[in-house]
Amino acid sequence: MNRLTRTAVAAVFATGLAAGTAAGTALAQDFGTPEEARAMLETTVAAMASDRAATLAAINSGADPRFKDRDLYPFCGDAEGMFIAHGANADLVGQSLRDLEGKAGTALGEQMYEQATAGEIVEVGYMWPRPGEEEPTDKVSLATKVGDDVCAVGYYAES
């Protein structure tokens, strides 16, 4: 291989690596981070304290960017353990959050209700598929108590 050909091959290889790195970065940006999940939960708590009914309606609409960002969304349950809001699937409203289990059998709803405390954020880990996927992966929900309600925002631990 002559010097010009080696230089051309090296340039193509470097371009391919840069494109692959950029694609990998874009893929990682498709998913929310733990910090973004925490910020969304804090926004949810403040909004619930200000106007619970309007906040629940905004979460259930799935259209408010404060409550829906890529794979991040809040979900809340009332004192009886029933979903009152879900940012990705409003059809869950009225079903049991307390009885919700992860795909590996983790009693995540029960754990949230047992551990959630006003003014503190707890982590509950479980297996759940990413939106549009079938295979479960590690997910962590950050949860807290807001009045008599429990609210959480989950993020995927693997990116």
CATH code for position 147: 3.30.450.20
Q: What is the pLDDT of residues 32-76, one digit of tens each?
A: 999 999 999 999 999 999 999 999 999 999 999 999 999 999 999
Both 63 and 126 in one domain: the answer is yes
Helix residue ranges per DSSP H, the chain = 3-29, 34-50, 52-61, 108-115
Both 117 and 70 in one domain: the answer is yes
Domain that residue 72 falls in: 33-156
Both 9 and 75 in one domain: the answer is no
Both 12 and 73 in one domain: the answer is no
Q: Considering its fold, how many domains does the chain have in total?
A: 2
Phi, psi of 118 (to 5 degrees): -60, 135
Would you say the pTM of this structure is higher than 0.85? no
Q: Which two tokens stand for residue 12?
A: 């193509």
Q: Which two tokens stand for residue 138?
A: 């590690």
Both 84 and 53 in one domain: the answer is yes
Both 146 and 86 in one domain: the answer is yes
Identify the pLDDT of residue 131.
Answer: 83
Both 18 and 39 in one domain: the answer is no
pLDDT at 150 over 60: yes
Chain centroid offset of residue 82 CA: 19
Both 96 and 42 in one domain: the answer is yes
Both 67 and 109 in one domain: the answer is yes
Both 79 and 6 in one domain: the answer is no
In this structure, the strands spanning 136-146 and 149-156 are antiparallel
Both 17 and 42 in one domain: the answer is no
Q: What is the pLDDT of residues 94-130, one digit of tens each?
A: 999 999 999 999 999 999 999 999 999 999 999 999 8
Both 74 and 106 in one domain: the answer is yes
